[in-house]
Amino acid sequence: MDDTSIISLIVAVIIGFLQIQQGKRMEAFEKRQDERDERRRKDEIYAEATRFIQKYNKSGHESEIYLLPLCIAAYKYDHIYSYRREIYREFCGLPEDVQNSVLKRCKINIPCHKSDNYFQTCLDKLCEEIKEYCPGDEDFFHANGKYLEWALKNHGEKEIPNIRCEIDEREQEALNHQIGANSKSSCRNDMDFKEHITNLLAYEVDKQPIYRLARELTNLGRPTEAEEILICYLCCIIAEYVPYYLYNNSGLYENTGDECDYTGTRYMEDAFLNALHSITVHGSNKGQDEP
């Protein structure tokens, strides 16, 4: 090999070495860039989540941050629906990584993601659980659960009405055991309709509670005959409490939020979303649409 060839070989080796070193430097630079971009994105996610939490986490139990679990149901049901509450609309407009950052920081471990069949999945699970919990009772969620869904679509912006009904046996027993049984409150002959619904579902499940509730008289009339909002409300409460009482879900979620602690004004959209939330966290995890 002559001197020229040797020099060419040495030059080639040097150039190759320099190219390798340059490649390593570029790789290291790109890695630092990626790490910096990732840190920046995490900071942005954290900041967006902070702004959301601060906006809705006001003092007292009227703080809408207590409704955060229902935000998940709102997003999964229809993330472009024009909900009455701003917290639902704003949550639906957040990127999913920000949504899940908010949930994590508020100690809620229900994952949030889009779902194409969320309502139908919830409805199918509810119908199966009603058959299991109170077999032989009325199928009140026929026609694709129209009364349940109409609670949102036809009445979502309305406040939940004050519904009273005749006092039932359980409520009367509770009143009779109150201190000062002769007080005015112990002599009343009506009660909150929701309390009556839960009493029948909890204690008279073998006596066709759904069939009876649909036909019992309230101050707004009978659910099967009165204005539509009454039967829609009844559907929401049944859908909320049947999964809760049956509780087929074997601890899939550890922390599901404190929605029940919210003391502000409630609307029919809240009742609808709470029903879907209850089916999700208390119902059977068979066919669960969670990843």
At 291 the pLDDT is: 36
Tally of residues, the chain? 291
Q: Which range is least confidently modeled, 29-33, 201-205, 242-246?
A: 29-33
> At residue 35, does pLDDT exceed 70?
no
> At residue 33, does pLDDT exceed 70?
no
At 192 the pLDDT is: 96
Distance between CA atoms of 126 and 141, rounded to whole angstroms? 9
Q: How confident is the model at residue 34 (pLDDT cuts 50, 70, 90)?
A: low
Q: How confident is the model at residue 3 (pLDDT cuts 50, 70, 90)?
A: low
> At residue 215, does pLDDT exceed 80?
yes
At 183 the pLDDT is: 55
Tokens for 152, please give them: 């949102």
Percent of the chain surpassing pLDDT 90? 64
CA distances (Å), origin 91, targets 110, 151, 210, 254: 14, 21, 34, 22
Distance between CA atoms of 63 and 55, rounded to whole angstroms? 10
Percent of the chain surpassing pLDDT 70? 88
pLDDT digits (tens, 9 = 90+) for 150-169: 999 999 999 999 999 999 99
Residue whose C-alpha is closest to residue 75's, from 37, 119, 9, 45? 119
Residue 60, sorted as left (phi over 0), alpha (psi -120 to 50) or beta, turns out to be left
At 139 the pLDDT is: 85
pLDDT digits (tens, 9 = 90+) for 97-129: 999 999 999 999 998 999 889 999 999 999 999
pLDDT digits (tens, 9 = 90+) for 127-147: 999 999 999 999 888 778 999
pLDDT (average), residues 69-84: 97
Q: How confident is the model at residue 202 (pLDDT cuts 50, 70, 90)?
A: very high
Residue whose C-alpha is closest to residue 200's, from 211, 188, 185? 211
Write down the mean pLDDT value for the chain. 88
SS3 113: coil
At 14 the pLDDT is: 77
Phi, psi of 199 (to 5 degrees): -65, -45
Q: What are the contacts of 217-225 at 24+ separation with CB within 8 A?
A: 217/165, 217/166, 218/163, 218/164, 218/165, 218/193, 219/162, 219/163, 219/164, 219/165, 219/190, 220/161, 220/163
At 174 the pLDDT is: 85
Distance between CA atoms of 182 and 287, rounded to whole angstroms? 52
Q: How confident is the model at residue 182 (pLDDT cuts 50, 70, 90)?
A: low
Does an H or E element contain 93, and which? Answer: none
pLDDT (average), residues 235-264: 86
